[in-house]
Amino acid sequence: MNLAARDIRHNFGRFVLTTIGLGLLLMLVMGMGGIYRGLVQDAILLVDRIDVDLWVVQRDTRGPFAELSRVPADLEDRVRAVPGVRSSGGFISTIIQRELKGQPLRITVQGLSWPEDRGQRLPMVAGRPLGQVHYEMIADESLKLPVGARVKLGKNTYTVVGQTRDMTSSSGDSMAFFTLQDAQSIQNDLPGEAIRLERAARYDRAAEIDLGRSQPQVIERSRGPSSGIPAIGPPVISAVLVKVQAGADPKEVQSVISKWPDVSVYSSNDQRELLLSGPVDKARRQLGLFRVLLIIVSGIIMALILYTLTLDKLHDIAMLKLMGARNSVILALIMQQAVLLGALAYVVAYGIGQWLFPFFPRRVVITPEDLWMLFAAVLGISVLASMLGIAKALSVEPNEVLS
């Protein structure tokens, strides 16, 4: 006869409610770990997907994700001329927030260097990569924009031609991919009135200088588009992505480019480290701390539960001792209940989590390694938490059954 099983059947309702409550607490521990893991993966996701050797960014900045970076578009050509470089392409990353059908639409806009990069390396679940230089986009499925949907951004309307999965930025915003030219158009979009006022101010400034007075055609040209004025450079980009030739040493190429006074150069590993030690560092540490605190709280609560269950059985334990039961029998009674309570609570946590985590606003990544580590921690906590109840049970005198 198993005393632990018999005692559980005798108090079945309370044991079930206790297991569910503890399971919900463990689900929070599991979810906090999944959010931590998801935050880290989201931070380095795009760096891994793009898969280039070097990132060339504005001097003394940490790249397009950690902080604002602006470099001229013609930097691509300069980088391409460096010995050992196989290809170079521009890259833009910016966040916009618009309204679609009365709902806020927040997007991390990523500009791809057309035509070398059409998004073919992205994890597509529907549709196709970009097929033309303008007016097409690839959207993550979390944006709820199906293939064929048309979205007005700025002064242009873009058609969704493909969908990706789990492509979110470190801040949790869904990504959308455009050609570099379209991304620049979205990033630098201004209202018509703002453009008119800028051209009028440009006209006034030209009229006030000697060059404008002596050459009236300069004043007239100042009223036109910025692209028609040679002194005004093309729109800037966030970074230049570099792939080195087969057999070339990326560190040598990095050393050559890093000598230029206007840029900084990072490898992909450097970008990952900058992301993890920069934009997501505090959030990552805070989530890790909360996870540790939840595990400690779970252990304390489990110890109190087992201690309370032991107090309810003091009369029965004294009776067992009076009948000659060994201490090992009493120890097994409490230990088995503790381990069974922890194991069942873990199963409840996993079951509820698998149903609930997909509804979380941020991605929750549960890895097998994390599940096994948490299971081992739960068993360890169960054993340690039972010690308080065991100590109380072993201190009971047999004659207490008469009191």
Overall average pLDDT of the 174-203 stretch: 78
What 3-state class would DSSP assign to 14?
A: helix
Band of pLDDT at residue 1, cut at 50, 70 and 90: very low
**Mean pLDDT, residues 269-286:** 78
Over range 270-286, report the average pLDDT. 78
Angle at 229 between CA 227 and CA 232, to 5 degrees: 80
- Least trusted range by pLDDT, from 24-28, 81-85, 228-232: 228-232
Q: What is the largest CA-CA distance in the chain?
A: 117
Residues 167 and 161 sit within 8 Å (Cβ to Cβ): no
**Region of 156 on the Ramachandran plot (φ > 0 left; ψ -120 to 50 alpha; else beta):** beta
pLDDT digits (tens, 9 = 90+) for 156-186: 899 999 999 888 877 778 889 999 888 888 8
Q: What is the pLDDT of residues 36-77, one digit of tens each?
A: 888 887 777 778 777 788 989 888 887 777 777 888 888 888
Cα 266 off chain centre by: 21
259 DSSP assignment? T
Model confidence at 296, in pLDDT bands (50, 70, 90)?
A: confident
Of 278 and 370, more confident = 370
Least confident of 95-109, 297-311, 368-382: 297-311
pLDDT of 226 strictly over 70? no
Residue-level pLDDT at 158:
92
pTM exceeds 0.75:
no
Per-residue pLDDT averaged across 22-27, rounded?
Answer: 87
- The pLDDT value recorded for residue 302 is 76
Q: Where are the domains of the chain?
A: 3-42+281-402, 72-188+235-261, 192-233
Distances (CA, A) of 344 to 22, 24, 211: 9, 11, 84
**Proportion of the chain above pLDDT 70, given as a percent:** 78
Cα–Cα nearest to 229, from 242, 247, 211: 211
* Ramachandran angles phi, psi of 260, nearest 5°: -70, 135
Give the mean pLDDT of 274-284. 75
- What's the confidence (pLDDT) of residue 4? 53
The radius of gyration computed from the CA coordinates of the chain, to the nearest angstrom, equals 32
